[in-house]
Structure 1
Amino acid sequence: MPTASNGAVSIHYATDGDADRETVLLLGDVGYGAWQWGWQHAGLTGPFETVVPDLRGAGRSDAPSGPYAIEDFVADVEAVLDDHGARRAHVVGAGLGGMVALELARASTRPQSLALLGTAATGEGLSLDPLFGSPADPDDLTSSLSAALSDDFLSAHPEAVDRIVDWRADEDATREAWAAQAAGVGAFDASDWLYEVTLPSLVVHGRDDAVWPVDRGRRLAEGLPRGDFVGVDAGHLVGIERSRDVNDRLVGFFEGVGSTDRA
Structure 2
Amino acid sequence: MTDTAERSDDAFARTDDGVSVAYQCRGSAAGRPLVLLAGQANNHHWWDGVREDFHGTARTITMDYRGTGASDAPHEGYSTRRFAEDVVSVLDSLGIERADVYGTSMGGRVAQWVAAAHPDRVRRLVLGCTSPGGPLAVERDTSVRRALAAPDPAAVRRTLTELMYSPGWIAGHPGPYRTLGDPDMPPHARRGHLVASNRHDAWDALPSIGAPTLILHGDQDRLTPPANVPLLTARIPDARSHLLPGARHAYFEEHREAAGALVREFLG
Tell me the TM-score range normalised by the shorter chain. Answer: 0.7 to 0.9
Match of 2:160 among 144, 148, 158: 144
Distance 1:183 1:100 in 2: 13
- Picking from 11, 16, 22, the partner of 2:32 is 22
Give the letter for the 1:229 counterpart.
Answer: S
Deviations 1:73-111 (A, max 9, x none): 122111111111111110000111111111111111101
Q: In structure 2, do the counterparts of structure 1 residues 249 and 34 end up closer, same or farther at CA, with 3 Å as the change threshold?
A: same
1:54 aligns with 2:64: yes
Quote the residue 1:261 is aligned against. Answer: none
Of 166, 172, 177, the residue aligned with 1:156 is: 172
The AA in structure 1 aligned to 2:122 is P
What TM-score, normalized by structure 1, do the two folds share? 0.85
Correspondence for 1:254: 267
- Give the C-alpha shift of residue 156 in structure 1: 2.8
Deviates further, 101-110 or 30-39:
30-39
In the aligned structure 1, how far is the partner of 2:45 from the partner of 2:155?
A: 18
Distance 1:168 1:122, change over 3 A: closer
Residue 10 of structure 1 and its aligned partner are, at CA, apart by: 0.8
SS at match of 1:214: coil
Shift of 1:226: 1.0
- Offset at residue 155 of structure 1 (A): 2.2
- Tell me the TM-score normalized by structure 2: 0.84
- Pair 1:75 & 2:90 matched: no
Map 1:219-258 onto structure 2 (within 5 A).
Answer: 219-232=231-244, 233-255=246-268
- AA at the equivalent of 2:211: L
Query: Which 5+ residue runs of structure 1 have no aligned equivalent?
Result: 256-263
Alignment length, in residue pairs? 249
Q: Deviation of residue 154 (structure 1)?
A: 1.4
Counterpart mapping for 1:94-243 below 5 A: 94-108=104-118, 109-124=120-135, 126=139, 141-158=157-174, 161=175, 163-164=176-177, 173-232=185-244, 233-243=246-256
**Greater CA deviation, 34-43 or 103-112?**
34-43
Residues in 1 aligned to 2:21 and 2:150: alpha-carbon distance in whole angstroms:
22
Report the Cα distance in structure 1 between the residues aligned to 2:12 and 2:207, rounded to whole angstroms.
Answer: 34
RMSD over aligned CA atoms reads 2.5
Query: 1:91-133 CA distances to partner (integer Å, 9 max, x unpaired)?
Result: 0001111111111111111010110110011155746866689
CA deviation after TM superposition for structure 1 residue 215, in Å: 0.4
Shift of residue 235, structure 1, vs aligned partner:
0.8
Runs of 4 or more, structure 1, over 6 Å off, are 131-134
Q: What amino acid maps onto 1:200 in structure 2?
A: P
8 A Cα contact 2:68 2:182, kept in partner = no
* Structure 1 pair 70–170 and aligned structure 2 pair: CA distance change class (3 A): closer
For the residues of structure 1 that align with 2:67 and 2:81, how far apart are their CA atoms?
A: 15
User: Hey, what's the Cα distance between the residues in 2 that align with 1:170 and 1:99?
Assistant: 19
Instruction: Give the aligned partner of residue 47 of structure 2.
Output: 37
1:169 and 1:200 map into 2 onto residues whose CA distance is 30
Q: Measure how far apart 1:40 and its partner are.
A: 2.1
Aligned partners of 1:36 and 1:240 also within 8 Å: no
Q: Is the 8 A contact 2:27 2:52 kept in 1?
A: no
Please say if residues 133 and 202 of structure 2, whose CA atoms lie closer than 8 Å, have aligned partners that are also in contact.
Answer: yes
